[in-house]
């Protein structure tokens, strides 16, 4: 189920763990507030789902929270802590049971993120019903909708607190192009940085070896001197 404000009856029924017929009965009895579209189609506000869950549902959906920042500076400035706290508050407000809080400092370009692997393991095992993130690029820079679809195959919902603003086609294209440039530039400079680090390490090892050889030669000469 995508993160949206109005749900189709089938989506709402799945979110509440009831049948569509029960949902219609709740609507007719006034237990559930619904809206009607211009075509007289029934829609359920997301707030109603949260309200019913807060009324003491004994089987509250199990939720995993995933928060990420890219740099040490962001973590030190408290961005990771604030992001995590906001997600916790949102999960509790929506009536979820928080069973896992995954936080990490890593680049979105890093395909070996430990936190991401832990999250995917939870989804694969169907250990949670909801994954809650603050913004799409906190999870992945590209293809968040694909993750949402894949999670649905495991009967897990991916919910995003802050959906990207709707942009004009030109603005969206420019944003995607900048993202692509950022991704490939990061990989390129990352490779260069790794190469530089390797050369520096080699040079340091050579200097250390030269220092040992020099010290050994000096000690031998000193012992041989009259």
Residue positions annotated with a catalytic role: 70
CA distance 215 to 206: 14
Cα radius of gyration rounded to whole Å, the chain: 27
3-state DSSP assignment of residue 192:
helix
The count of residues in the chain is 226
Q: CA-to-CA distance for 128 and 119, rounded, in angstroms?
A: 10
Rounded distance between C-alpha atoms, residue 62 and residue 132, angstroms: 11
The strands making up 6-7's β-sheet, listed across from edge to edge, are 6-7, 42-45, 35-36
Q: How far apart are CA 33 and CA 56, in angstroms?
A: 18
Q: Where are the alpha helices (DSSP H) in 18-126?
A: 20-29, 46-53, 72-76, 79-93, 114-124
Gap between the Cα atoms of 133 and 87, Å rounded: 7
């Amino acid at each position: 189920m995508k993160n949206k404000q109005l749900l189709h009856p089938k989506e709402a029924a799945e979110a509440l763990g009831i049948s569509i017929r029960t949902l219609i009965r709740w609507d007719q009895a006034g237990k559930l507030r619904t809206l009607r579209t211009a075509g007289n189609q029934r829609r359920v506000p997301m707030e109603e789902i949260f309200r019913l869950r807060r009324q003491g549902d004994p089987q509250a959906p199990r939720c995993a929270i995933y928060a990420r920042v890219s740099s040490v500076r962001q973590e030190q400035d408290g961005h990771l802590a604030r992001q995590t706290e906001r997600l916790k508050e949102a999960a509790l407000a929506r009536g979820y049971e928080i069973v896992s809080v995954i936080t990490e400092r890593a680049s979105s370009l890093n395909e070996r993120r430990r936190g991401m692997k832990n999250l995917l393991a939870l989804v694969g095992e169907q250990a949670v019903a909801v994954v809650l993130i603050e913004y799409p690029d906190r999870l992945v820079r590209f293809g968040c909708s694909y993750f949402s679809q894949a999670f649905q195959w495991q009967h897990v919902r991916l919910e995003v607190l802050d959906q990207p603003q709707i942009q004009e086609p030109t603005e969206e294209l420019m944003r995607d192009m900048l993202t692509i440039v950022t991704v490939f530039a990061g990989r390129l400079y990352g490779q260069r940085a790794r190469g530089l680090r390797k050369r520096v390490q080699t040079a340091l090892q050579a200097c250390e070896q030269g220092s040992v050889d020099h010290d050994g030669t000096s000690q031998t000469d000193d012992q041989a001197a009259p």
